[in-house]
Chain A
Amino acid sequence: GAVVSQHPSRVICKSGTSVKIECRSLDFQATTMFWYRQFPKQSLMLMATSNEGSKATYEQGVEKDKFLINHASLTLSTLTVTSAHPEDSSFYICSAPARGHQDTQYFGPGTRLTVL
Chain B
Amino acid sequence: QKEVEQNSGPLSVPEGAIASLNCTYSDRGSQSFFWYRQYSGKSPELIMSIYSNGDKEDGRFTAQLNKASQYVSLLIRDSQPSDSATYLCVPLTDSWGKLQFGAGTQVVVTP
Using a CB–CB cutoff of 8 Å, the interface residues on chain A facing chain B are: 32, 34, 36, 42-46, 49, 91, 93, 95, 97, 102-105, 107-110, 112
Q: B17 at the A/B interface (Cβ < 8 Å)? A: no
**Is the contact region of chain B dominated by helix, strand, or loop, or is it mixed?**
loop
Q: Tell me, rounded to whole Å, the shortest Cβ–Cβ distance linking B74 to chain A.
A: 17
| B interface, size bucket | 20 to 34
Given known contacts A43-B104, A103-B32, A97 and B97 CB-to-CB distance under 8 angstroms:
yes
Query: Which residues of chain A come closer than 8 Å to B98, judged between CB atoms?
Result: 34, 46, 49
A-B contacts at CB below 8 angstroms, number: 52
Q: Tell me, rounded to whole Å, the shortest Cβ–Cβ distance linking B53 to chain A.
A: 17
Pick the residue among B44, B49, B96 that contacts A107 (CB under 8 A): B44
Residue among A32, A36, A43, A49 with most chain B CB within 10 A:
A43
- Whether A46 and B43, one on each chain, are in contact in the complex, defined by CB atoms closer than 8 angstroms, is no
Query: Which residues of chain A come closer than 8 Å to B45, judged between CB atoms?
Result: 107
* Alpha-carbon gap, A68 to B44, bound state (A): 24
Using a CB–CB cutoff of 8 Å, the interface residues on chain B facing chain A are: 32, 34, 41-46, 49, 51, 88, 92, 95-104
* Alpha-carbon gap, A44 to B51, bound state (A): 22
Given known contacts A43-B101, A44-B101, A93 and B96 CB-to-CB distance under 8 angstroms:
no
The 7 closest A-B pairs by CB, nearest first: A97-B97, A102-B97, A44-B101, A107-B43, A110-B43, A43-B103, A93-B43
Pick the residue among A43, A44, A93, A103 that contacts B97 (CB under 8 A): A103
